[in-house]
Amino acid sequence: MDKMSIELLQQQNPFMSLNDITYTILLQEIVCFRIPPGSWINENAVAKQLGISRSPMKYALSRLEKEGYVKKSHKYSVTGFSIKEYTDLKELCFLLESYAAGRAAVAATDRQLEELRGLARQMNDICCRADTTPRDALSRTIMDLEYQFHLKLVMLADSPLLSDLYEQIKFKLFRYRSYMIYNPPEGYYDIIETDHLVICDVLALHDRQLAESILRRHLSFFNTHFLKLFHINSL
């Protein structure tokens, strides 16, 4: 998180305001665990890092507070995890993503499915090199590919309403998913090494029910291990 972060976003979207750029950078830092849950946010220090005034910082933190990512007492801190929020997100995720998989199985073209498979192959490749890749780089790469894969799957459903609904929960959802990626259970890399390729294989069969079923199985694995991890770290 530095001045280069702002310059990069400005290059990607020249019309994005400094307020929105600051918000996006802080959101990424929170979702990607570079600012962990419970951490205090020093407004002056972050503003200095980014080379901005405190005004965009105040806007970004106020928006993040409304969305539940930070809370304020005498100063701002990153909101901790909540089993209630996770349960709500998990139930929505099971409904939305399995529905998306079913629709994608019948709506997506072979070319679109091959693009999705490309992400699965990248996941397979990085997991095969898990033992020789630095842990932080490994976690960040997997998290980015997970995000791209699931977002692409929702887009392949070809449903604007579904995409709008998913847009509202995706960052909170991936904040919880990132928690497990940074704290992987035993055998995690072995499973996700092939799981996304299996999903692609099933989608290629163009069977809606089977696609919904394989996605629910994929999500159930995450849910089971996340709840174990959450319970252990809450003791």
206: phi > 0 → left, psi -120 to 50 → alpha, else beta; which?
A: left
Beta-carbon contacts of residue 102 (< 8 Å; ≥ 6 apart): 208, 209, 211, 212
* Residue 156 pLDDT: 97
Look at the alpha carbons of 44, 48, 50, 52 in this order and tell me if their dihedral is positive or negative.
positive
Residue 192 has pLDDT above 50, yes or no: yes
H helix or E strand, kind and range, residue 77: strand 76-78
Residue 114 has pLDDT above 90, yes or no: yes
Distance in angstroms (rounded) separating the CA atoms of residues 80 and 96: 25
Distance in angstroms (rounded) separating the CA atoms of residues 40 and 109: 47
**pLDDT per position as a tens digit, 121-180:** 999 999 999 889 998 889 889 989 999 999 999 999 999 999 999 999 999 998 888 888
Distance in angstroms (rounded) separating the CA atoms of residues 122 and 138: 12
Per-residue pLDDT, averaged over 182-190, amounts to 83
* Residue 235 pLDDT: 39
How many whole angstroms from its chain centre is CA 10?
22
Residue 59 has pLDDT above 70, yes or no: yes
Residue 66 has pLDDT above 90, yes or no: yes
* Residue 1 pLDDT: 66
Candidate from 69-73, 159-163, 223-227 with smallest mean pLDDT: 223-227
The torsion defined by the Cα of 129, 135, 140 and 141, in degrees rounded to 10, comes to: -10
- Predicted confidence band of residue 233 (pLDDT cuts 50, 70, 90): low
* Residue 183 pLDDT: 81
User: Average pLDDT over the chain, rounded to whole?
Assistant: 90
